[in-house]
Amino acid sequence: DNTIKNTEDVERILNLPILGVIPKDPPEKKKKLKRKHQQPKSKNSLSKTEELI
């Protein structure tokens, strides 16, 4: 098994310390964000969302 499963694996393979970790969004939050992106309240909000992607 040669997959990277955690920060310790990354440190061991790269021989470098981890400076920070970006948390993964829970599935519920992803669904909410997806709905918001698919149904913007105005044309302007869609363009702002697309700029972030």
In the DSSP assignment, the letter for residue 26 is: P
Q: Between residues 2 and 9, which one has the greater pLDDT?
A: 9
Residue 6 has pLDDT above 60, yes or no: yes
Is residue 9 included in any domain, yes or no?
no
Is residue 2 included in any domain, yes or no?
no
Is residue 14 included in any domain, yes or no?
no
SS3 of residue 29 by DSSP? helix
- Give the number of domains in the chain: 1
Is residue 11 included in any domain, yes or no?
no
pLDDT of residue 26: 76
Residue 40 has pLDDT above 90, yes or no: no
**Residues of the domain holding 30:** 25-53
Is residue 12 included in any domain, yes or no?
no
Is residue 17 included in any domain, yes or no?
no
Lowest mean pLDDT among 8-12, 15-19, 46-50: 46-50
What percentage of the chain's residues is helix, strand, coil (to nearest 5)? 55, 0, 45
Using pLDDT thresholds of 50, 70 and 90, give the confidence band for residue 24: confident
